[in-house]
Amino acid sequence: MTKGEIIAALVALGFKGNVGPCGGEDPKLDANEVVLFSQLPECGYRFNDDGSVDCFFPNEDSMYNSLIYDIGYSEEEAQEEIDNPGHYDSVIDLFGSDDGWFLYFAQDNPKIVEAIKAVLAI
User: pLDDT tens-digit profile of 37-90?
Assistant: 998 899 999 999 999 999 999 999 999 999 999 999 999 999 999 999 999 999
Strand arrangement of the beta sheet that strand 43-47 belongs to: 28-30, 33-36, 43-47, 53-56, 87-88
Task: Please give the pLDDT value at position 39.
Answer: 87
Identify the helix (H) or strand (E) that includes residue 65: helix 60-69
Asked whether residue 23 carries a pLDDT value surpassing 90, the answer given is no
Q: What is the pLDDT of residue 53?
A: 98
- pLDDT the model gives residue 77: 97
Rounded CA separation 68/63 (Å): 9
pLDDT of 3 > 90? The answer is yes
Q: Is the pLDDT of residue 36 over 90?
A: yes
Average pLDDT, the chain: 96
The pLDDT assigned to 2 comes to 97
- Grade residue 99 by pLDDT with cuts at 50, 70 and 90: very high
- How far apart CA 84 and CA 22 sit, in angstroms, is 29
Domain locations in the chain? 3-58+86-121
Q: Is the pLDDT of residue 21 over 90?
A: no
Judged against a pLDDT cut of 90, whether residue 22 lies above it is answered with: no
